[in-house]
Amino acid sequence: MSELLELRGVGKRFPGVVALDDVDFTVRAGEIHALLGENGAGKSTLIKVLTGVYPADEGEFRLGGASIRPGSPRAAEELGISTVYQEVNLVPSLSVAENITLGRQPGRAGLLNWRAIRRRARAALARLELDCDVDAELGALSVAHQQMVAIARALDTRARLLILDEPTASLDEHEVAELFKIMRQLRADGLGIVFVTHFLDQVYAVTDRLTVLRNGARVGEFATAGLPRLELVGRMLGREVSAAEFAAQGAASPADHAAPPVLATHGLGRRGAVAPFDLSLRGGEVVGLGGLLGSGRTETARLLFGLDRADSGTISVHGAPCRIDSPREAVRLGLAFCSEDRKAEGLLPNLSVRENLLIAQQGRRGALRALTRAEQEQLCAHYIAALQIKTPDPETPVKNLSGGNQQKVLLARWLATQPAVIILDEPTRGIDVGAKQEIEQLIAGLRADGLAVLFISSEIDEVVRNCSRVLVLRERRLTGEIADGDLTADHLMHLMAGTHE
Amino acid sequence: MKVRSPLLWPLAGFVALLLLNAVFNPAFLKITLLDGHLYGVPVDILVQGSRTMLVALGMTLVIATGGIDLSVGSVVAIAGAVCAVLLQDGHGLALTLVAAVGAGVLAGSANGLLVARLGVQPIVATLILMVAGRGVAQLLVDGQVIIIASAPFEFLANGFVLGLPLAPLLVAAAYVSAHLLLRRTALGLFVEAVGDNEQASRFAGLAAARIKTLAYVFCGACAGGAGILTAANIRAADAYRAGENMELDAIFAVVVGGTALTGGRFLILGTAIGALLIQTLTTTMYNLGVPPAVAPVPKALLIIGVALLQSERTTRWLRGLAGRKEAA
């Protein structure tokens, strides 16, 4: 098989971040090639560089042996590189035929040749063996069919390389199978296909080879069949060996199992988010929620905190059954949730450190029982000292702090509410190593204070280090639990990858 | 870096405009005592500007939540119509005033419901009432301009207490109460939090929808109050003209006063200065004999100037220019 696409030494920097560092990437004609990696690994940057959305800072691009340098998505399309994005980016109010030919409609002098438009659309759909009315309004079709139309549109430009960026995220099992059928067919036609997905089962079901990225660098290229699942997961996550010195310090002292759970769920679930699960958290324990990206970790947290409504099951707090249908209710019951998306769901960027710090507690007290200025300043001074928050002044807008200090402000915000349960979703993401360690020490301190902590992280070592027990999620289902002595990184990875004995 | 008060620019603009007037017309700043009452252009500015100030007070909170209320002008007309109808039917002053403000509260609740609960875009939601509200007002007064012959009612807008004009005093009282209500409780903080990042506020356990609704209700109440003052000032309910373009003046006042249209931090005092600045400009042009049809042009220039001063990009550019000069 010939090399269809060859990238050599591709680099891309954004202010303060190296998104791609000397990445090689090769796709052959007639193969399905998976591009894998956790969030922030550089997958989408690589695709955007390849399709001309961003210019690359350095590197060599070859397509079919000829050197190329796509300057825009349009230029990339003309070279034969077509992309189907995760969200269908077509026009729902136009017909299928219009969507397939949009921007390159056959016609003359500004007049459209409708017959040619339909003929071309039918031909594109026929190639996918798709039976679909070309005059139907796109918005009326199922998401899966819209996805197929998007592929048909991509193929209409006589693509040589097709990039599918998480095309299966919103498809059900049957629709995925249908998509795979089309992918295999196109492979047989000699197309090169780049397939980005988070579902490992799908990687093994349909791809020939795969490339793993981590932190903007290429980890390696492998034949799919020759790479055991566990090894793949290990390569995606990367193991921090240097962290061994403070390993297991957090895993000590399992909680008192006789104590009643602070938070317990029974059959709690939400269709399309996470299958019904049972969970119980006791005071003084740190429970991990492990799983790959897209396994339902955040969805679980959102259910517990009332951000999404559960459609089955019950929750009880301190043994009393309750309904949590808003974060406000959750906070009232003594829950706290540090979201993984600091910027969108945590920070009030233009407000001061002081205001960010006290907002949750003030919200719990209500507007009328305002904290006095003296109380506020005392609270701030306490947490700024306790968490070693580096800020020039409590009145500094929180947006001016570094990521690690912003994270500490958010932690302080929740600690100030004196919660019984705190859910930490990726609390160490995007912060430097020093702050990371401080936050881990803090978590140990919370456990010692008798809080129940639910700890979500994609870094396996971090989970093993901090948790006394880990619940494992795979493909939106709680699939196992590891406690105490069994809690090792290897064992956890087995469960996350779904290869346990 | 020195922290500069955000009130600096609106205040500087206001003072500059007053000085400019004083240069061209030395009598401009003159205040005389006549029959124990204060008279003069500055007093006139206060009296005529009081209505916009009141509407802008409510608008400040709505804008702070990241919204906007285009319906205030129409609510002014509705409240005026309610006053006229009730007074005409011989109802007491107290009931009339409560009903007029109540009408504003009702309108604000409708806006709040659409924006906060049903997720309609603020500009669209309040545009509905902006258009429909005039119709409601017309309906109330049956398409007529109703003359109000009630001395105590008129006194609200045109009366003097201890030599001072009453309307600005009432509006000042509203500002002081609002300030206490917002800053002595945590309401002001909640409004700023919701305006700065609504989703994060919800995550922090704030009832974001309720806070937004309250802002619209308060805005409606202020517009209702302004409707009373407007009707009392002209001694009539004019469903067609009352409060016309007032939403624009109020938005101008808020923005000139230093509250960003993107929401978050708000400055009540800035809004008051902004409203006075705009009224001064209007009065200035009136005194200079600028035809009313042309009057919006200088107003627009002022707005552009203030907006540019507030834009980060221009300040960075200006700072860059200054820096280059220093370097040279």
Under the phi-then-psi rule, with left for phi > 0, alpha for psi from -120 to 50, and beta for the rest, what region is B243?
left
Report CB contact under 8 Å: B196, A363.
no
Cα A130 to Cα A150: distance, rounded to the nearest angstrom: 12
**DSSP code of B165?**
E
Q: CA angle B149-B153-B156, nearest 5°? A: 140
In this predicted model, what pLDDT tens digit does every residue of B130-179 receive, in sequence order?
999 999 999 998 888 888 888 888 888 888 888 888 999 999 999 999 99
Chain A residues close to B65, C-beta within 8 Å: none
Predicted TM-score of the model (pTM): 0.72
B193 with A359: Cβ contact below 8 A: yes
Is the sign of the CA dihedral B317, B323, B327, B328 positive or negative?
A: positive
Contact B105, B214 (CB under 8 A): no
What residue segments make up the domains of chain B, in order of their start?
8-323
Window 9-68 of B, Cβ < 8 Å to A: none
C-alpha pair distances (Å), A460 with each of A12, A233, A274, A312? 27, 10, 21, 30
Q: Does B189 touch chain A (CB under 8 A)?
A: yes
Q: Based on the domain organization, do A105 and A232 belong to the same domain? A: yes
Given a cut of 50, is residue B204 above it in pLDDT? Answer: yes
Confidence (pLDDT) at A457:
84
8 Å CB contact between A353 and A302: no
pLDDT value at residue A421: 92
H or E segment and range at residue B227: helix B208-234
At residue B65, the pLDDT reads: 95
A476/A398 same-domain check? no
Nearest residue on chain A to B262, alpha-carbon basis: A350
Written as six digits, the tokens of A157 are 């430009």
- Residues A185 and A65 both lie in one domain: yes
Q: Which residue of A has its CA nearest to B263?
A: A350
Of A407, A415, A377, whose CA–CA distance to A393 is shortest? A377
> What's at B164, amino acid-wise?
L
- For residue A245, the model assigns a pLDDT of 34
Least CB-CB distance to B185: which of A360, A363, A367?
A367
Which residue has 């920070």 as its token pair?
A: A347
In a domain, A345, yes or no: no
B114 secondary structure, DSSP code: I
Helices (H), A452-500: 460-466, 489-497
Are residues A37 and A155 located together in one domain of the fold? yes
Which of A188, A209, A237 is at the close of a domain? A237
Contacts of A425 (CB under 8 A, 6+ apart): A297, A298, A301, A337, A338, A339, A340, A456
Domain that holds residue A402: 350-417
Q: Element (H or E) spanning B158, and its range?
A: helix B151-158
Residue A483 maps to a domain: yes
Same domain, A320 and A360: no
pLDDT tens for chain A, residues 1 to 501: 578 899 999 998 876 667 888 999 999 999 999 998 876 678 888 988 988 888 888 889 998 888 888 888 888 888 888 888 766 678 888 888 888 888 777 766 677 778 888 888 888 888 777 777 888 888 888 777 788 888 888 876 678 899 998 877 666 677 788 888 888 988 998 889 999 887 788 888 899 999 999 888 898 899 988 888 778 878 887 764 333 333 444 444 444 555 678 898 888 888 878 888 888 888 888 999 888 777 888 889 999 999 988 888 889 888 888 888 899 999 999 999 998 888 889 999 999 999 999 999 999 998 888 899 999 999 999 999 888 888 888 999 998 887 788 888 999 999 999 899 999 998 887 666 667 778 888 888 888 888 899 999 877 888 888 888 899 888 888 888 888 777 888 888 888 877 754
Nearest to A350 among B189, B196, B199 (CB): B196
Q: Is there a contact between A477 and A274 (Cβ–Cβ < 8 Å)? A: yes
Task: Assess if residue A302 is contained within a domain.
Answer: yes
- Listing DSSP states for A185-226 in one string gives HHHHTT-EEEEE-S-HHHHHHH-SEEEEEETTEEEEEEEGGG
The verdict on A273 and A196 lying in the same domain is no
**8 Å CB contact of B205 and A328:** yes
A370 Cα to chain B: minimum distance (Å): 5
Residues A107 and A132 in one domain: yes
Do A7 and A119 reside in the same domain of the chain?
Answer: yes
User: Does A267 share its domain with A379?
Assistant: no
pLDDT at position B325: 56
Final residue belonging to a domain, choices A237, A252, A277: A237
CATH of B8-323 among 1.20.58, 1.25.10, 3.90.105, 1.10.3470: 1.10.3470
Q: How far is A317 from chain B (nearest CA, A)?
A: 17
Contact of A69 with chain B, judged by CB distance below 8 Å, is answered with no
Closest CA to A166 of A197, A189, A143: A197
Position B328 pLDDT exceeds 60: no
Q: What are the beta bridge partners of residue A217? A: A214
Query: Cβ–Cβ of A349/B207 closer than 8 Å?
Result: no
CA distance A326 to A266: 19
Please give, one letter per residue, the 3-state secondary structure of A430-455. Answer: CCCHHHHHHHHHHHHHHHHCCCEEEE
Look at residue B327 in the predicted model and tell me its pLDDT: 52
Are A28 and A120 contained in the same domain?
Answer: yes
Q: Which residues of chain A make contact with B205, given a CB cutoff of 8 A?
A: 327-328, 330-332, 360, 363-364, 417
Closest approach of B66 to chain A, Cα-based (Å): 13
| Predicted confidence (pLDDT) at residue B88 exceeds the cutoff of 80 | yes
Cα separation, A387 vs A441, in Å, equals 10
Burial label for A158, CB within 10 Å (0-12, 13-18, 19+), is exposed
Hey, is the C-beta of B5 within 8 angstroms of any chain A C-beta? no
A209 and A153 belong to one structural domain:
yes
Task: Please indicate if any CB of chain B lies within 8 Å of the CB of A195.
Answer: no
Distance CA A464, CA A451 (A): 19
pLDDT tens sequence across B112-132: 999 999 999 999 999 999 999
Q: What does the block give as tokens for A488?
A: 């090792």
Instruction: Judge whether B181 is closer than 8 Å to chain A, CB to CB.
Output: no
* pLDDT reported for residue A358: 93
Residue A451 sits in a domain of what CATH number? Answer: 3.40.50.300
Residue B199 sits at the chain A interface (C-beta within 8 Å) = yes
Classify residue A118: in a domain, yes or no. Answer: yes
What six digits make up the tokens of A475? 């493909």
- Asked whether residue A408 falls in the same domain as residue A428, the answer is no
- Span B1-50, pLDDT tens digits: 344 567 777 788 888 888 888 888 777 777 887 777 888 888 888 988 99
Output Rg (C-alpha) for chain B, integer angstroms: 20
Tokens for B213? 């609704």
**Total number of domains in chain A:** 3
- Give the model's pLDDT for residue A40: 66
Q: Residues A389, B184, A395, CA angle at the centre, nearest 5°? A: 25
| β-bridge pairing A452-456 and A469-473 | unpaired
**Residue A295 and residue A13: Cα distance in Å, rounded?**
30
Distance CA B223, CA B225 (A): 5
pLDDT for residue A432: 66
Cβ-based burial of A450 (10 A; exposed 0-12, middle 13-18, buried ≥19): middle
Count of A-B CB contacts under 8 Å: 76
Cβ contact, residue pair B200, A345, below 8 Å = yes
ipTM: 0.84
Q: What is the mean pLDDT of residues B307-314?
A: 73
Residue-wise pLDDT for A188-242, tens only, equals: 988 899 998 877 888 888 999 999 998 888 988 999 888 887 788 788 877 643 3
Write out pLDDT tens, residues A267-296. 888 887 888 888 888 888 899 988 877 788
**What pLDDT is stored for residue A152 in this prediction?**
84
Q: How far apart are CA A133 and CA B101, in angstroms?
A: 58
User: Which of B197, B205, B264 lies closest to A363 in CB terms?
Assistant: B205
Domain final position from A417, A445, A464? A417
User: Are the C-beta atoms of B150 and B236 separated by less than 8 Å?
Assistant: no
Q: Is the CB of A327 inside 8 Å of chain B's CB atoms?
A: yes
